[in-house]
Amino acid sequence: MSHPLHVPVHHFGYVVDDLETAIPEFVSRFGAGPFFRIDHVPLEGVTARGEPAAYDHSSAFGACGDVYFEVMELHEVAPAPTREVFTIPAPGLHHVAYLVPSVDEGVATLEAAAVPEILSASLGDITFAYLDSRSTSGHHVELLADVPAFHEFFATIGGAAKDWDGKTDPLRPMFG
């Protein structure tokens, strides 16, 4: 396999203290939006170092031109050693995300290069893993399975951004 990061960056993930406060800032300062919010993202199979873990967060996804953003509010990350590695002071760049053909192969390649996995999980057909690349980049890496459900999800976000007036409903529920 070629290096898993020899693919374009898919999105930038920022951690904030509060989505309700942060999203208007992204809209006014950067013209990003609208953002689609998922409260308490319903993840499955959350593990840290192969052991069951907790990762509860809310995320809002938006676009600015052709660049996608995820803005996330962390509610719980456990166990404590995982929380210490995963948590970055808010507000800040938390991760850079890449779509890869195989999350497992990507994780194996990066771990062989001394970039350890922090946690992994899935959301339906979308599997992903976060890896600790802070020592070289100052942020984490997220590897996501390149599956049709992921492209469909972001097509909704990109389509809304294309025709958005910059004012109407800057923070919307993703579902419902």
Is the pLDDT reported for residue 4 higher than 70?
no
**Of the candidates 52, 35, 33, which has an alpha carbon nearest to the alpha carbon of residue 44?**
52
Distance from C-alpha of 11 to C-alpha of 150, rounded to nearest angstrom: 12
The owner of tokens 């953003």 is 69
Indicate the fold that domain 9-162 takes in CATH: 2,3-Dihydroxybiphenyl 1,2-Dioxygenase; domain 1 (3.10.180)
Q: Does the pLDDT of residue 152 top 60, yes or no?
A: yes
Which of 15-19, 27-31, 57-61, 143-147 is the least confident region? 27-31
107-145 pLDDT tens trace: 999 999 999 999 999 999 899 999 999 998 999 999 999
Q: For the whole model, what pTM was predicted?
A: 0.93
Q: Is 2 a residue whose pLDDT tops 80?
A: no
Name the residue ranges covered by the structural domains of the chain.
9-162
- pLDDT (mean) for 31-59: 96
CB atoms inside a 10 Å sphere around CB 168:
9
Task: State the average pLDDT over residues 3-25.
Answer: 91
3 vs 74 pLDDT, higher one:
74
- Section 51-75 average pLDDT: 96
Q: Which residues contact 92 (CB under 8 A, 6 or more apart)?
A: 14, 15, 139
At 38 the pLDDT is 96
- What is the pLDDT averaged over residues 150-173? 92
**Distance separating alpha carbons of residues 161 and 103, to the nearest angstrom:** 28
Arithmetic mean of pLDDT over the chain: 93
Q: State yes or no: pLDDT of 1 exceeds 60.
A: no
